[in-house]
Structures are given as structure tokens and as C-alpha cells.
Amino acid sequence: AIDISKLRDLSGVITLDPGYKNSGACKSEITFLDGELGILRYRGYSIEDLAEKSHFLEVSYLLIFGNLPSAETLEQFENDIRRFTLVSEEMKIIIDGFPRTAHPMGVLSALTSALTAFHPKSVDVNNEKDMYDAICKTIAKFLVIATWTYRKSMGYPLNYYDNTIGYVENFMSLMFKLPTGPYAVNPVIVDALDKLFILHADHEQNCSTSTVRMVGSSHAGLFASISSGVSALWGPLHGGANQAVLEMLEEIHASGGDADKYLAKAKDKDDPFRLMGFGHRVYKNFDPRAKIIKKAADDVLATLGVNDPILEIAKKLEAAALEDEYFKSRNLYPNVDFYSGIIYRALGIPTDMFTVLFAIGRLPGWIAQWKEMRENKEPIGRPRQVYTGYPLRDYVK
Ligand code: ACO
């Protein structure tokens, strides 16, 4: 029998798995996902139950600390987050340096990393209080700087967290409150956002989460690890897909609404175009989050009285793809990003902020996975490779 621990000495024995399609990188107690059956659970609770009955900070607590908080613990958690919502005025100088046209995800990644400079003390992962404070601090400041990326792009003055309202309400007031008057938060919008943040809160070892774990495995700090997660999420094959979906739907609408033409493009192997919001590395049946979001999109649009032709195009495209042999044979179904953008649009969120909203929702998952990785004392992430370059070459001038 082969002694696994000695494998590193057997040069040439390497599992080559590009894209880690079938390689586990860790053991985790956080999220259970069955791609065949379309099951998603956080800490054992079904995503359907959580989306319907819970709230974002409660789910955040559950993901990070393992159990649902009591009412008192949750209140304490919310208050502890409030303690850290002020962001250094000097961060504003950094924001000033960006052009207004900068993509909010680029600015968010940079600002998250910059927080390290203002909070340089590394977290003692063996000290419960230290860990707890670092978590509250990250949840508090991330929301504020995430919304500042939008305020910057609009040239508006930056807003501060309002300690008299909740976390999700604060997202709306940080984004849209003007200095000229009070901002009334619409409860329908808050409910929809709460649900969307919960649906995005964790998804086991996806690209951004694996990146957070990988960067954190070198014992880089929490802000640095989260910043790397933001960068990974930005790509259109991952979180950036929600922006790409809406741009695609707008393009279809602008060019006369011919969904079949785009379906044909997506199937054409000589055309790099993909149907954005379709397909998933793990879900090969359906994405349970997409089901919930599709219903939420219908509800929100009806409640807000929005009649959006983009939603009709999305439905047409989905129906056509679900009947199409190309998509059926490859198990390509709508994913979480297919409908989220339609809701964000109805809520008045600008398109290039969509992925920032994904990041706000995914933050507790990144934190939970980072914490678990450090507590489990996981080794530094360091994949191997199969070298395919030149053999030794003589250096001749
Ligand atoms: N449109 C057209 N064809 C597609 C699509 C699509 N959206 N997705 C996959 N395919 C095809 C591929 O061309 C490939 O076909 P082939 O077997 O003939 O070569 C087959 O389906 C398998 O696709 P892979 O790229 O090998 O699947 P993988 O698991 O690597 O990729 C991914 C998954 C990245 C999500 C892919 O489906 C995709 O690019 N989708 C569009 C982008 C998107 O919506 N991303 C969001 C994902 S969810 C999230 O991150 C929150």
C-alpha cells in the first residue's frame, strides 16, 4: 500500500485537476450542497426556510458561529457591529484618488485592502474576543465602504451608518440618503434585499471563497483575505455574472427582443458568447436559489408596480433554453444571477453595483470560511503542477 504522507517524494505522482472540478481542498461544517438534487443548507438549515423566515444578520451569525443566535445574542451582535461602523476620514482621501468612472468592485477591493493599514493589528485567532471584534469590525466597515463606491461614482457626499436603523436598511440609506433631507426606507425593498443577501451568504468552496481560504492560509489578515475574495468575485464567470446578465438582457431588448438569436449565439462553438446566468459548476439539475429569486422577482415587481420588459425577455429566454437540446444535454439551468439583477434594477440599484451587492451578501460566508480554516489550523494552500515547459537549456549569449 502507498503511504500517502510520502507521496510528495514520488515525483510525477500528481493529481491533475484543472479548475478543481473534483478535488476537495478542505473539510467544512458550514454549507451543504447537493448539485444533483438542488439542495443548499447553511449549518443544516434549508435555504428555503432561511430565505423565508430569517434575516441577514441572523444568518450571518449562524454561518460564522455555527448556531442560530438567541434574541439577546442577536441584539448584542447588531449592537457590536454598530460600534465599528465609523470609517477613518483618511479613507476618503484614498477614495478621492479614484476616477469617478472606476468600477465599484475595483474600488471596493482596494478599500477593503486599505482597511488593513488603518487596523494593522493582526487577529489573534486563539482569542475569542479578538476574533469576535474583528468579525464585527469587518461586517460593519465593509457595508459602509461598499456603498461609498457608489457615492463616489455619483460624485455625492459620503454617508455615515445610522445607528437607529438595521443593517439592511442602512444599505439603502448609505446609498441613497441625500444631505437635503431624511431618507424613508421602503420595507418592501428591505425585505427583498434581506432575502437576496441570505441567498448569497455562502456557497461552500466557490472561486471567491476558495480564494479567501487560500490567501488566509498564508496567515494574511482578514481584510486582505476578504479583499482577494472581492477580486475573485468580480469576474463575469462568477459574481460579475449578475451585471453581465442584465447587460445581455438590455442588449436583447434594444435589438428587438429576439431571444432565439442569442440562444443560437450561445450554442455556436465559434462564438465566445455564453448565455450569462446559465450553468453552474455544481448544480446540474437546478439552482435552488434561482427558484426562490424568480418568485421574489415576480413579487417585488408586482408590489412596486414595476412593469419591466426585461423580465419578460428573461422569462422568454429561460423557457426557450429549458426546451433546447444543447442546454438540456449539458444540464444548463438558470443560476442565482439570472434573476437577481432584475430585482436590483427594480429597486433602483445601478447595474455596476450588482456585484457589490453580491459581495455584501457573501461577506459572512467568506468570514465563516476564513475562521474555520484558521481554527482548523489548515496548512498553507499550495497546489502542485505538471511542468510542460522546456527541458534544461544551455545559456548561450
Ligand atoms: N452558455 C452556453 N454554453 C454553456 C454555458 C452558457 N452559459 N455554460 C456552460 N456551457 C457549455 C460549455 O460551452 C461546455 O460545452 P461543451 O461540453 O460542448 O464544451 C459545457 O456547457 C460545460 O461547460 P463548462 O464551462 O465546462 O462548465 P464549468 O462548470 O467549467 O463552468 C460556469 C460553469 C462558469 C458557471 C459556466 O456555466 C458559465 O460560464 N456560465 C455563464 C456565467 C455565469 O452565469 N456565471 C455565474 C455562475 S453562478 C455564481 O458564480 C454565483
Q: In the prediction, which pLDDT does 12 show?
A: 63
Q: What are the DSSP calls for 260-271, one per residue?
A: HHHHHHHH-TTS
280 lines ligand 1 (CB under 6 A): yes
The verdict on the CB of residue 261 being under 6 Å from ligand 1 is: no
pLDDT in tens, 24-78: 999 999 999 999 999 999 999 999 999 999 999 999 999 999 999 999 999 999 9
Closest residue by Cα to residue 55 from 198, 199, 162? 198
Convert the pLDDT of each residue in 268-308 to its tens digit. 999 999 999 999 989 988 899 998 998 888 888 888 888 88
The active-site residue out of 238, 280, 287, 324 is 280
The CA distance from 347 to 305, in Å, is: 11
> Any catalytic annotation for residue 337?
yes
Distance in Å, CA 177 to ligand 1 centroid: 39
Q: Are 310 and 249 in contact (CB under 8 A)?
A: yes
Known catalytic residue at 280: yes
Say how far apart CA 82 and CA 162 lie, in whole Å: 9
Report the percent of the chain where pLDDT is more than 90: 78
Whether 336 is in the pocket of ligand 1, judged by its Cβ within 6 Å, is yes
Q: Considering all CA atoms of the chain, what is the largest pairwise distance in Å, rounded to the nearest integer?
A: 75
Q: What is the mean pLDDT of residues 341-348?
A: 89
Sequence-distant (≥ 6) Cβ neighbours of residue 147 within 8 angstroms:
159, 171, 174, 175
Q: What is the predicted ipTM?
A: 0.95
Measured in whole angstroms, how far is the alpha carbon of residue 87 from the centre of its chain?
22
Kindly tell me the number of DSSP H helices and DSSP E strands found in the chain: 17, 3
Beta sheet of 45-46, edge-to-edge order: 31-34, 39-42, 45-46
Q: What distance in Å separates the CA atoms of residue 258 and residue 344, rounded to the nearest whole number?
A: 23
Q: What is the pTM of this model?
A: 0.92
Task: Return the residue whose CA atom lies nearest to atom 10 of ligand 1.
Answer: 279
pLDDT at residue 85 greater than cutoff 70 = yes
279 lines ligand 1 (CB under 6 A): yes
Query: Does residue 268's CB lie within 6 angstroms of at least one atom of ligand 1?
Result: no
Each residue's pLDDT tens digit, 100-137: 999 999 999 999 999 999 998 889 999 999 999 999 99
Q: Report the separation in Å between the CA atom of 165 and the middle of ligand 1, taken as the mean of its atom positions.
A: 40
